[in-house]
Chains A and B, each alone.
Chain A
């Protein structure tokens, strides 16, 4: 029972958004990691994970994001998150993810934060 996920890149450096659609589970590893690497190759200094079209995230899926957090830290990239439901935002807070990736209610808020920095 393979879950389905699609990840598409949007925008240009310095901020590239990864629009994730479907389920973020262990089956999403290749799609999300490939998209992150493609954004990095395109010169992204900031990568915005957009979860607005995601209806299911489990701990295996969150582990993928944690792994990419480590890579982004090494590459001195900023990792940003938007589109989480209140429940998954709570989960991300509980796990400490929001201490290392800025979580925004909207993509506009994320872009605005760069403009003011």
Chain B
């Protein structure tokens, strides 16, 4: 018992979901439950849920191309002052996160038909969390998000 206490406890939580639209919601519900346990305020939990929803949707639709044989992995790492969330897809190629998706999209352009009416997910993720990184590991894309307590 004592030795167990001396060992560092791994509090990572891992969730695998199928690449089917709709599963982003239970994933976000799990993250919200963890965030609530960490005492994030309700309005921040709403932000986290939306960011996770959009990251998982990207992974399902664009990373895994709605291929049901591929899964999306969500890893939650609760720290004393922050929650880190990593969303992994199983894409064979890296997704392109270009300047347009990083900059705030223009709804006026969208209404004028200059750009498609979709593609807001990345914008929402970047706006709603404190830190975000998009990377490719060779086995898939990873979106790393960090939300600090007290922001």
Q: A residues bordering B, Cβ < 8 Å?
A: 1-3, 23, 25-27, 56, 58-60, 62-63, 66-67, 69-70, 73, 85-87, 91, 94-97, 99-100
Label chain B's interface by main secondary structure. Answer: helix
Alpha-carbon distance A27/B127, docked complex (angstroms):
25
Interface string of B67-106 (1 = CB under 8 A from A): 0000000000000000000000000000000000000011
Chain B residues 1 to 58 lying within 8 A of chain A, measured CB to CB, are 20-25, 43, 46-47, 50, 53-54, 57
Q: Complex: how many Å from CA A59 to CA B24? A: 12
Instruction: Check A86 against B111 for contact (C-beta < 8 Å).
Output: no
Question: Do residues A87 and B46 form an inter-chain contact, with CB atoms below 8 A?
Answer: yes
Q: A66 near B111 (CB under 8 angstroms)?
A: yes
CB distance B111 to A73 under 8 Å?
yes
Given A60-B57, A73-B111, A99-B107, also A3-B43 (CB < 8 A): no
With the chains together, A96 CA to B123 CA distance in Å? 12
A1 touches B117 (CB 8 A): no
Q: A26 to chain B: which residues have CB within 8 Å?
A: 21
Residues of B within 8 A of A100 (CB): 107, 111
| Residues 92 to 151 of chain B near chain A (Cβ within 8 Å) | 105-108, 110-111, 113, 117-118, 120-121, 123-124, 127
CA distance A99 to B20 in the complex (A): 33
In the complex, which of the residues A2, A56, A59, A86 contacts B124, with contact meaning CB atoms closer than 8 Å? A59
Judging by beta carbons under 8 Å apart, are A58 and B54 in contact?
Answer: yes
Residues of chain A contacted by B121 (CB below 8 angstroms): 59
Contact for A3 among B22, B108, B117, B127, CB less than 8 A: B22
Cα A70 to Cα B107 with chains together (Å): 10
19 further A-B pairs in the complex, CB-CB below 8 A; given A66-B111, A94-B127:
A1-B20, A1-B21, A25-B21, A25-B22, A27-B21, A58-B24, A58-B57, A59-B54, A59-B120, A60-B118, A63-B117, A66-B107, A66-B110, A66-B117, A87-B46, A91-B124, A95-B105, A96-B106, A99-B107
Specify which of A1, A58, A69, A95 is in contact with B53 (CB 8 Å cutoff): A58
Verify A67–B117 contact, CB threshold 8 A: yes
A23 contacts across to B, CB distance below 8 A:
25
- Contact (Cβ within 8 A) B107 A97: yes
Q: A59-B120, A87-B43 are in contact. Are A1 and B111 (CB under 8 A)?
A: no
Per the bound structure, the CA–CA distance linking A23 and B23 in Å amounts to 13
Q: Is the CB of B47 within 8 A of A87?
A: yes
In the complex, what residue of chain A is closest to B58 when comparing beta carbons?
Answer: A59
